Amino acid sequence: MRPLIGLAVAATLATAVVTTNPGASAAAAIPKNDPGIGSAAALSNPNCDQTTKRIKFESPYAPPCVKPWTSSDNNGGATAQGVTKDKIKVVVLWADLTGALQQNVPNRTTGQGGTEPDAMIDMDAVYKAFFETWGRTVEYTFVKGTGTDEAAQQADAVAVAALKPFAVVDFAGAYLHSGGLVFESALRDKVPALVTFPCCGVIPPETRANPLVANAAEWVGKALVGHKARWAGDNSLKSKPRVFGVVYPAGSGGIDFNLFEKGFARYGGKVTASVSYPSEATQLQAPPEAVEQAVTIITKLKSAGVTTIINFADGIAMTPALTKAATDQNYFPEWVVTGNGYQDVDVIAMASDKQQTAHAFGLVWFPPVVPQQSAAATPFDWYWGKNKGTFAGAALSLVQSLYTGLHLAGPNLTGKTFEQALVDRYPPTGGTFSNQVTTMETAWATFDNPPPRGSALAWWSPDTTGPSQVAGLGTITGKYMFLDGGRRYSTGHFPKGEPDFFDPSTSVWELDPVPPSDQFPTYPCNDCPSSGGGPAPSSHAAG
C-alpha cells in the first residue's frame, strides 16, 4: 500500500513548509529590502491585476504584486550563502520512483512515468516566467538520495550541505522514497532555507498534528457528545448514548492524545477507552508490527462498550486492519473520521472494510471532486498546455513555496527575508481564509508553527462511483459525500449540533460547476508553450 502515499500527496493543494536559518547571510552592506508590496509602483506593474492586487498567474494562490525590476537595478549581489547577483543555488534531493509510484510523476508527453528532476525543471519553467526574482535565476543541483534510514539521511544531509546552497528542496521526502525528517533536521542550521512537503518532514510530527487534533476535539465535542450513536451499524448500539473510544498512533509519528482529551473535555466529552500503537517517523503508515495489534485494539474497544471510535489511525495500513478486525468480531460501531494519515482520501478509504466504512463520518481535509477546475494542475496546464511536460503535485507545492518566497523577499535575499516573505507578507489564502470550498487553506509554516488545517464535514458512501479526489486515477467506487456543499471549517469555528449524515439528497461528492466564490481570474499566457511560444519541456519529458 505504500505507493498510495505518494498518490495522496500528489492530490493535495497544501503549500510546502519552509524552515530558514536567518543567520546564514552575508554581512556586506546591501540595499533596503523593499519588494514594494501595495505600492503604486507594484500596482502599476504590467504583471499585476489591480483588482486582486496579485500577479496575473493562473492560480488561486498567486502572490501579491511587487514593484518592477530592471537590469540596471542593484540587488546587493552575494546577500547569503548560495546567492550571487545573478544566481540562486538550490539543491534538490530526489529519488528514482518505481512501480506504482511513477504514477505520481507522469510524463504527459509520453504517457509513461517521469522523473523527479524533470518534474522540477518543468514546474520551474512555469513559475520563473511570472514570479519576480530580482535579477537572479534559480540554478538547480540535483542530488540523488541514498535511502530513508537514519544513516542514509545523515549522509545525504552532509553531501547536500557541502554544496553550500541557499535552499534545499526535499522532493524525495514528499514520496517517502528518500530524505525525510532526519535529513531535514540535520540541515536546519546549515542552509538559509529548507523547503519540504508538509506531510513528511521539517515540522515534528507531534507539532504537525496539532491543528488536526484540535479540530477533532472541538467538532466531536460540539456535535456528538450527549447524543445516541444513531449512525452505528448495529441496532443495539444505535439506541445507546455514545461511549467514545480513541485509537491513535503514539511515538515519533504520533499525535498528542493529551491535547485531544483536554480539548474534548471542554465540550463535556469523556474518553472511555483509548488505545495507542507504535508509529514510524511519519503518520502516513503504521509499521507491520503495529498493524498486528489491530485485533487486540478492537477487542479492547468492544469490551469497553465503545459505540463511537474516534479514529486517528492512518488510512493506508491501520484503518483497513482495524475495520477488518471489527467485522471479524461482529462489532459495528460508529467510525469518526479525523483525517489523519490520509484516511480522508477516497482512493485510500476504499481499501477499508465496506461494512464498517458504511458508518464512517466526520472531518475531511480534501475537497470534493471538481471536474472543471483542478487548482493543483491549473498553473501547469495553463503554461504548458494539455499533455505536455512532466507533472507532480509535490513539485507544484515545493516550487510554489520557493518562488513565492523569492518573489516577496525583495532584492535582499537572506534566510530571514525569505521567511518574512512567506510568513509575514503572503496573505493566508484558500479554504476558510477565502470562504472557498474547492481550495485548501494555505499559509506558510515554520518549524515552530504547524500549517493551518481546515476540514469539511462528510460521510463515506462505499457504493458511489465517480472520479477520484486524486487527479489522474479515473473512476473508482467509494466516495466521501460532503455536507453543505463542502463548506470548510477551522479550529474555533465548527458548528454546534449534530448534522444529518448519510442523506444523499443533501450531500455531494463533486462540485460542477465550480461555485462562484471559488472562481479565480483567468489570464492569457503570453509566450507560453500553450500559446505557441516559450521553451520545450525538459529533455526526458520531450520524449
Reported as a single tens digit per residue, the pLDDT across 132-188 is: 999 999 999 999 999 888 899 999 999 999 999 999 999 988 776 677 778 888 998
Q: Could you tell me the three cell numbers for 284?
A: 502516513
Q: Which of 291-300, 466-475, 476-485 has the lowest mean pLDDT?
A: 466-475
Q: Is the pLDDT of residue 30 over 50?
A: no
Do residues 356 and 427 both lie within one domain?
A: no
Do residues 412 and 360 both lie within one domain?
A: no
Residue 10 maps to a domain: yes
| 61/442 Cα distance (integer angstroms) | 8
Do residues 334 and 223 both lie within one domain?
A: yes
Outline where 45-129 has alpha helix (H).
116-128
Give 277-326 as a DSSP string.
Answer: EE--SSSS---HHHHTTHHHHHHHHHHTT-SEEEE-S-TTTHHHHHHHHH
Do residues 331 and 479 both lie within one domain?
A: yes
Work out the pLDDT band at 465, boundaries 50, 70, 90.
Answer: very high
Bigger pLDDT: 287 vs 243: 243
CATH number at residue 179: 3.40.50
Reported as a single tens digit per residue, the pLDDT across 482-541 is: 999 999 999 899 999 999 999 999 999 998 888 888 888 889 998 899 988 888 887 654
Given this model, what pLDDT does residue 289 score? 83
- Residue 519: Cβ-neighbour burial (10 angstroms; 0-12, 13-18, 19+): middle
Residue 144 maps to a domain: yes
Q: Which of 193-202, 321-330, 515-524 has the lowest mean pLDDT?
A: 193-202
Which residues fall within 8 angstroms of residue 29, CB to CB, at 6 or more apart? none
- Of 199, 4, 114, the closest CA to residue 392 belongs to 114
Length of the chain: 543
Residue 489 maps to a domain: yes
Q: How many domains does the chain have?
A: 2
Integer angstrom CA distances of residue 225 from 236, 273, 399: 19, 15, 43
Residue 53 maps to a domain: no
Residue 426 maps to a domain: yes
Q: Could you tell me the three cell numbers for 47?
A: 504583471
CATH number at residue 498: 3.40.50.2300
Q: Which of 8-17, 197-206, 336-345, 527-536 has the lowest mean pLDDT?
A: 8-17
| 34/412 Cα distance (integer angstroms) | 8
Which residues fall within 8 angstroms of residue 236, CB to CB, at 6 or more apart? none
Do residues 164 and 218 both lie within one domain?
A: no
pLDDT averaged over every residue in the chain: 86
Phi and psi angles of residue 442, each rounded to the nearest 5 degrees, phi first:
-130, 115
Do residues 18 and 154 both lie within one domain?
A: yes
| 140/121 Cα distance (integer angstroms) | 8
Residue 58 maps to a domain: no
Work out the pLDDT band at 22, boundaries 50, 70, 90.
Answer: low
125-129: average pLDDT:
96
99 close to 2: Cβ distance less than 8 angstroms: no
Do residues 322 and 295 both lie within one domain?
A: yes
Report which listed range, 29-38, 358-367, 438-447, 532-541, is most confident.
358-367
Residue 43 maps to a domain: no
Work out the pLDDT band at 460, boundaries 50, 70, 90.
Answer: very high
User: pTM to 2 decimals?
Assistant: 0.84
Residue 446 maps to a domain: no
Quote the percentage of the chain above a pLDDT of 70. 85
Residue 137 is inside which H or E element, if any? Answer: strand 137-144
Do residues 458 and 330 both lie within one domain?
A: yes
Reported as a single tens digit per residue, the pLDDT across 234-257 is: 999 999 999 999 999 987 668 889
| 130/146 Cα distance (integer angstroms) | 34
Do residues 211 and 196 both lie within one domain?
A: no
- Residue 96: Cβ-neighbour burial (10 angstroms; 0-12, 13-18, 19+): middle
Reported as a single tens digit per residue, the pLDDT across 408-436 is: 999 999 999 999 999 889 999 999 999 99
Which of 433, 461, 476 is the last residue before a domain boundary? 433
- Of 191, 60, 164, 46, the closest CA to residue 526 belongs to 46
Domain that holds residue 458: 206-369+452-511
Report which listed range, 91-95, 386-390, 465-469, is most confident.
91-95
183-211: average pLDDT:
74
Given this model, what pLDDT does residue 8 score? 30
DSSP state of 537: P
350 close to 476: Cβ distance less than 8 angstroms: yes
Given this model, what pLDDT does residue 277 score? 92
Do residues 189 and 301 both lie within one domain?
A: no
| 91/192 Cα distance (integer angstroms) | 12
Report which listed range, 193-207, 286-300, 446-460, is most confident.
286-300
Do residues 293 and 226 both lie within one domain?
A: yes
- Residue 111: Cβ-neighbour burial (10 angstroms; 0-12, 13-18, 19+): exposed
Do residues 350 and 387 both lie within one domain?
A: no
Given this model, what pLDDT does residue 9 score? 34
| E strand segments, 161-223 | 167-170, 193-196
